[in-house]
Amino acid sequence: MRAVAYTEYGPPEVVQLVDVEKPAPSDKDVLVRVCATTVTVGDTIMRSLDMPVARWQRVMARLYLGVRKPRRPVLGMEVAGDIEAVGRGVTRYRAGDAVTASTFAVGFGGHAEYKCLPEDGVIAHKPASLSYEEAAALPGAGMTALQCLRKARIQPEQAVLIYGASGAVGTSAVQLAANHFGADVTGVCRAANADLVRSLGASRVLDYTSEDFTKSGETYDVVFDAVGKLSRTQAKRARVMAGIYLDVTADSDGGDTVDNLLLLTELCQAGTLKPVIDRTYLLEEIVEAHRYVDLGHKKGNVAITVAHGKGASR
């Protein structure tokens, strides 16, 4: 089967299309024919080892990823596709089911034509309302946004400011805060993305290139930095102006669960949530996708089409 792998850390060009052995499901696994996946900021960070964290965290990350070369050569943290085969002990899924899943806990591997996943992993039936590309973009950013916002215990009509509102996590966070939690949302992003953020449920949008919201004197019940890019000075001021301050790099732990994914699929079916797709590339164009994500200006998610889907959701 085709897969995209990297054997050294570096720029986008280190990822290459290769042929690898097709996996076979064990008794409790499902074999997913991948129809779509994504290239996330997380993928580009692992590929480049350019990590916006403390030095000791970079050391720990390299021990996990591989000191001299990648230990897990196939990236890809989320997939959507059709189940081609199931193990003998599988009872929750059957061949032909369309699913969305996170590969975070199983060593990644979404940038391939097939992926084996445990039946009890972070996997759910694909919402019929979503394309395969949209469904592939649901787990990572969606569960991250949900996990962070839950920590704030948001109440209806509370004032919530989301910094980085047009990114992958930000676009999910705006929709969840406004449509699921019932908050009054202010989004912070580039002026060019203001209409998008308003369409997702924000009542007000601030352009961070022309004004610093931390100097406005306004206060919010919750301030959520959805991109982890506030300077230390801005973050300090944001903590003062917020009842609760959340940072995606510090507060998204523990969100990769099947219960969270199931809730997200229910919200998609109800029309409360829909992943935003900025650009879509073919699997053989994945280097270009990495280059685009590296620019740091994507709106929502960057999807990768791997194959045409044929399964039905239920």
Give the integer Cα–Cα distance in Å for 91 and 288. Answer: 39
CATH 3.40.50.720 for domain 141-251, yes or no, is: yes
CB 72 within 8 A of CB 42: no
Boundaries of every domain in the chain: 2-137+275-305, 141-251
Structure tokens at 148: 């962070």
Other beta carbons within 10 angstroms of residue 108's beta carbon come to: 23
Other beta carbons within 10 angstroms of residue 264's beta carbon come to: 26
CB 201 within 8 A of CB 175: yes
Structure tokens at 85: 């085969």
Distances (CA, A) of 156 to 115, 153, 182: 40, 10, 4
- Going residue by residue through the chain, which has 314 residues, state the pLDDT in tens, using 9 for 90 and above: 999 999 999 999 999 999 999 999 999 999 999 999 999 999 999 999 887 766 777 778 788 888 889 999 999 999 999 999 999 999 999 999 999 999 999 999 999 999 999 999 999 999 999 999 999 999 999 999 999 999 999 999 999 999 999 999 999 999 999 999 999 999 999 999 999 999 999 999 999 999 899 998 899 999 999 999 888 899 889 888 899 999 998 898 889 999 999 999 999 999 999 999 999 999 999 999 999 999 999 999 999 999 987 754 43
CATH 3.90.180.10 for domain 2-137+275-305, yes or no, is: yes
Give the integer Cα–Cα distance in Å for 52 and 253. Answer: 16
CB 94 within 8 A of CB 32: no
What does the buried/exposed string (b/e) look like for 65-100 if buried means 16 or more CB atoms within 10 Å of the residue's CB? bbeeebebbbbbbbbbbbbbbbbeebeebeeebbbb
pTM of the model: 0.94
